Structure 1
Amino acid sequence: MRISVVVPNFNKERTLHECLSAVYAQSPPPAEVIVVDDASTDRSRRIAAAFPCAVVAFPVNRGVSAARNAGAARATGDVLFFVDSDIALAPGALAAAVRTLEAHPDCGVVQGIYDLRPLHDDGPVEAYKTLFEHFWRRRATGVTATTMFALTAVPRAVFELVGGFDERLRDAEDVEFGTRLPSRYEIRVSDEIVGRHDDVDRLWPYLSELFRRAVTYADAVVVARWERPVTGADDAGRTPHRVDLASVVGMAASALAVGTASLALVSPRLALLALGPLAAFVVADRELLAFALRHRGPWFLLYAAGLRWLTHLTEFVGMGLGVCGALLRRVRAGRARRVAPVSQR
């Protein structure tokens, strides 16, 4: 199989050299590497020019969906391997992707996991984010139901069948891609495809990213699935991926804890009602918290628990606003369609 590596990039001068160095160090090497620079304002294009890769330069910023689509359109390989420009692949990652696709002919997407170590260790927020990403991706090893394209291989024929990424989306675009993947194709996670990720390292940008992704996910995936069966091109449709019950319980418990704790304004004793939701939160995330304790110790466990609670609360608000906004837009669109024939008489 000929592998084309597609690297979408926007202002990642800090990590782009490490990303491309790791790609070219793969054995066997890829047939070609395509960097799609999404109107960066830093030194990214000069860094990419130092490597024997093709560079597609956007004059204006169009988002990661458009960047990946442009790279795929330029590629000539049988397999498209997408890797974000803030990830350095471990040796053998591309070979592992090929082995998985060859061993499982029905596999339409194979995605890797993040290393437990970040590419650059920039503090506790990044330490938590990297630990969490490693934990849940490794736990999903094997056949899964959700697509994530940070370090992912897909046969070109499958990519073209799905129709690429929805360029209207700048968040959750990879998850939405999976909802259009025909159900006859498997989605797999391989722990042999590993990359070290330079993740977000400050609290506000981390929570902002979570919020945006939750709002987009609610509209592009959740509400869309309520409205109609999920269908793939010339296929009966993919069964919606399983609801992560632990995440739902965690989000609900975190929000409920805030609500019940506020009752302390009425009576301090009523604040005790928050203990129930907090206990539910701990139970829902017990595996992740135990993982944090084993790898980082008791002090980091307390920090991770607090950040996990903020994560759930942010996602709860984002999902709620996203669902409400999506439903309101659909109601308005339905009314407009009903009024239009009358106005045309």
Structure 2
Amino acid sequence: MSTVSVVTLAKGRPAHLRNVLLGLARQTRPPAELIVAVMQDAPYDLPEVPFPVRQILVPGRELPLAAARNRGVAAACGDDVVFLDVDCIPAPSLVADYARGLAALDGLLMGEVLHLPERATAGDWRYADLDAVAERHSDRRGPPASGIEICNDYRCFWSLNYAIRRATFLATGGFDERYTGYGGEDTDFGKLLATRGIPIAWMKGARAYHQYHPHHMPPVHHLDSVVRNAELFASKWGYRTMGHWLYAFRVMGLIDDTPDRPIRILRRPDAGDLALTGQQSHQPYTNSASVIRTLEARQVEGAAMASGVPAPATA
């Protein structure tokens, strides 16, 4: 039977991390260990759990997400490695589901993700309570009805909740550590897998519950790193990634992303940009598509006002 290490990346959010540990302690198949790649100056004060926990300090001025994932795998002892973001609580069968899936497919597997509203994990939470309020992200593809389904577009890789055989990960060379801050490093890794012929797939099960935290989408609060990482991706692969975010930034007047020229940041996000893109307390997740629709409607309205022709009514 294969052994399974779990790797999580953490900066701040100690309550979220404690819920991750609590979820791992409730697994039908306990992990061999948890590796916490700590992206802050000091390790966490963590509760006792019935499996080994190791904390590895990963220095970096900005979020060193790529480096943290690589360090986590390098330190892991398991045959399989499950990656969970620090805000993702594993369902009871997550470790067992991934072990079964990776025994069937040597590739990268993505489990289910449901999003929780604010205060869903307050107090002594139960899985039945989480299931009662959790929602699936409207912008994201859901799991197959059963089994494993191959995705033939590397851009489907979502780094919130996934697993891969450790040997397969190491054979790829891992994530490109030149990506720092937020955005692009996971799409780059997906592109790398595609070039190596390593399948990316969705699977039924391996569910994780994404815990609420205030966020912006599109991520205007990470404008600089998104722009920088999009340019890095283009230097490697010949075209930019994160196109929907760059499009939103352009419509907002934040950037000039004219093709064949370096992206220029025209201005910093202001209070209106933050209000438009920010997650509200009643929302379990943020939604780029709805923000883009709002921006496009404003464009149409502005053009109509400038021309004196009434904008078409919207449903």
Query: Would you call these one fold, judging by a TM-score over 0.5?
Result: yes
Q: Which residue of 1 aligns with 2:270?
A: none
* 8 Å Cα contact 1:109-1:154 kept in structure 2: yes
Assess, with a 3 A threshold, how the Cα gap between structure 1 residues 37 and 271 changes in structure 2: closer, same or farther. Answer: same
1:133 alignment partner in structure 2: 137
Whether the 8 Å CA contact 1:172–1:216 is kept in 2: the answer is: no
Deviations 1:130-165 (A, max 9, x none): 746366141677211332222111111211121111
Cross-structure match for 1:110: 109
Q: Is the 8 A contact 1:6 1:33 kept in 2?
A: yes
Does 2:311 correspond to 1:271? yes
Match of 1:178 in 2: 190
Residue type of the alignment partner of 2:175: F
Shift of 1:53: 0.6
1:263 partner letter:
A
How has the CA–CA distance of structure 1 residues 103 and 115 changed in structure 2, closer, same or farther, with 3 Å as cutoff?
same
Which one has a bigger Cα radius of gyration? Answer: 1
Give the distance between the partners of 1:134 and 1:22, measured in 2 at CA: 25
* Aligned partners of 1:36 and 1:67 also within 8 Å: yes
Preserved contact between residue 29 and residue 96 of structure 2 (Cα < 8 Å): yes
- In the superposition, relative to structure 1, how do residues 178 and 89 fare at CA in structure 2: closer, same or farther (>3 Å)? same
* TM-score between the two structures when normalised by the length of structure 2: 0.65
Distance 1:9 1:77 in 2: 20
Residue 57 of structure 2 corresponds to 57
**Which residue is equivalent to 2:211?**
198
Specify whether residues 34 and 217 from structure 1 end up closer, same or farther in structure 2 by C-alpha distance, changes over 3 A only: same
For 1:46, the aligned partner's letter is D
Deviation at 1:212, TM superposition (A): 6.0
Aligned to 2:20: 19
- Which residue pairs with 2:40 in the alignment? 39
AA of the residue aligned to 1:111: M
Q: Tell me by how many angstroms 1:90 deviates.
A: 0.2
- 2:299 is matched with 259
> Does the Cα contact within 8 Å between 1:119 and 1:197 map onto a contact in 2?
no
Residue 253 of structure 1: how far off its partner (Å): 6.6
Question: Offset of 1:252 from its aligned partner?
Answer: 8.0
TM-score by length of 1: 0.60
Corresponding residue for 1:149? 159
* CA pair 131-213 structure 1, distance change in 2 beyond 3 A: farther
> Secondary structure in 2 aligned to 1:185?
coil
Q: Distance in 2 between matches of 1:131 and 1:85?
A: 19
Q: Match of 1:133, SS?
A: coil
- Amino acid across the alignment from 2:176: D
CA offset at residue 191 of structure 1?
Answer: 2.9
Please give the secondary structure, in 1, of the residue aligned with 2:158.
Answer: coil
Over the residues paired in the alignment, what is the CA RMSD in angstroms? Answer: 3.6
Compute the displacement of 1:73 (Å).
1.0
Q: Identity of paired residues, percent?
A: 25
Aligned length: 247
Gap change, CA 1:207 and 1:149, over 3 Å in 2? closer
Q: CA deviation at 1:4?
A: 1.1
Displacement after TM superposition at 1:183 (Å): 4.2
Letter of the structure 1 residue corresponding to residue 96 of structure 2: A
- The question of whether the paired residues in 2 share the 8 Å contact of 1:88 and 1:119 is answered with no
CA distance in 1, matches of 2:87, 2:292: 32
**Greater mean deviation of Cα atoms: 111-120 or 218-227:** 218-227
Q: CA deviation at 1:39?
A: 1.3
**Structure 2: which amino acid aligns with 1:108?**
G
Residue 36 of structure 1: how far off its partner (Å): 1.5
- The one of the two structures with greater contact order (alpha-carbon pairs below 8 A, sep at least 6) is 2
CA distance in 2, matches of 1:158, 1:196: 26
